[in-house]
């Protein structure tokens, strides 16, 4: 290709670019002009409609629109008021629930104290009887007094729903209620309780202390 041919090609390419740019500008200008014409047509249509309409009809229509807008604003105000009222009620309920929890906690603590005081009051009589038994002369047999005091003490435990765990020899071992101290030679069947070394106690189905037992190894 000669220098003259290259120059002609470059000039032709430049003209093509300029033509494309001019066409894009023209298209954009055409779209903008089209949109302006649509807006102008809409404005003219509105003006013509207003001009051709009866003033009373326009006034009635405007009044109806105003009433509708006022109604919508009223609904919004009512909805906002209802939301505020619900939020206020929710806060009151939350506060009441917190106060209820505090009252119930305080009441449980007071009931616990009263229950303890009641039990101690019952045990005071038992202590008094034991004290009187020990104050007897040495020559006096205090067994009857001690047995009577033990019965009184058992009555107190029974009133508090406390049961004594004292399994009979030959009874099967229950790990929930029995603590095995040792396995011993015994006439009892193998694996059963031979002797109770210390009684256990259960209160309202809750084990306070397991009974300590020895278990037979068999003959």
In a domain, 60, yes or no: no
Distance between CA 18 and CA 5 in Å, rounded?
20
3-state DSSP assignment of residue 21: helix
Residue 10's pLDDT band (boundaries 50, 70, 90)? low
CA-CA distances (angstroms) from residue 165 to 73, 159, 191, 208?
Answer: 77, 16, 18, 10
Choose between 103 and 68: higher pLDDT: 103
SS3 201: strand
Asked whether residue 158 is assigned to any structural domain, the reply reads: no
pLDDT at 176: 93
3-state class of 26 per DSSP? helix
Average pLDDT score over residue span 12-29: 51
pLDDT for 112-150, tens place per residue?
777 777 777 777 788 787 777 777 766 667 778 888 888
Mean pLDDT of the chain: 77
- In percent, the amount of the chain with pLDDT more than 90 equals 17
48-69 per-position pLDDT tens digit: 665 666 666 666 777 777 777 7
Of all helices (H) and strands (E), which one includes residue 194? strand 193-198
Q: Which residue has the tokens 């202390």?
A: 209
User: How are beta strands 178-184 and 162-165 bridged, if at all?
Assistant: unpaired
63 in any annotated domain: no
> Is 109 part of a structural domain of the chain?
no
Quote the number of domains for the chain: 1
Run of H or E including 3 = helix 3-52
Residue 195, domain CATH:
2.30.22.10
Between 83 and 67, name the one with better pLDDT: 83
Whether pTM > 0.75 for this model: the answer is no
213 pLDDT higher than 80: yes
Judge whether 52 lies within some domain: no
Q: Would you say 214 and 175 are in contact if contact means Cβ atoms under 8 Å apart?
A: no
The predicted pLDDT at position 16 comes to 45
Tens digit of pLDDT for each residue in 153-184?
888 888 888 888 999 999 999 999 999 999 99
Whether residue 196 contacts residue 212, with contact meaning beta carbons closer than 8 Å, is answered with yes
Range of the domain at 211: 163-219
User: Is position 216 within any domain?
Assistant: yes
């Amino acid at each position: 290709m000669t220098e003259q041919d290259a120059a002609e090609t470059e000039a032709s390419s430049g003209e093509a670019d300029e033509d494309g740019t001019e066409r894009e500008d023209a298209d954009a200008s055409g779209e903008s002009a089209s949109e302006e014409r649509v807006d102008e047509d809409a404005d003219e249509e509105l003006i013509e409609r207003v001009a051709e309409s009866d003033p009373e009809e326009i006034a009635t229509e405007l009044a109806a629109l105003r009433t509708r807008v006022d109604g919508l604003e009223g609904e919004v105000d009512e909805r906002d008021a209802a939301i505020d009222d619900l939020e206020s009620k929710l806060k009151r309920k939350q506060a009441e629930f917190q106060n209820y929890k505090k009252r119930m906690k305080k009441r449980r603590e007071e009931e616990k104290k009263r229950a303890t005081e009641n039990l101690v009051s019952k045990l005071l009589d038992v202590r008094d009887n034991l004290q009187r038994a020990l104050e007897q002369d040495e020559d006096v047999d205090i067994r009857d007094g001690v047995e009577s005091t033990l019965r009184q003490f058992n009555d107190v435990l029974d009133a508090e729903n406390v049961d004594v765990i004292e399994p009979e020899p030959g009874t099967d071992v229950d790990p929930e209620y029995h603590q095995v101290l040792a396995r011993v030679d015994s006439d009892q069947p193998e694996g059963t309780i031979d002797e109770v070394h210390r009684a256990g106690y259960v209160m309202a189905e809750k084990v306070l202390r397991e009974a300590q037992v020895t278990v037979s190894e068999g003959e």
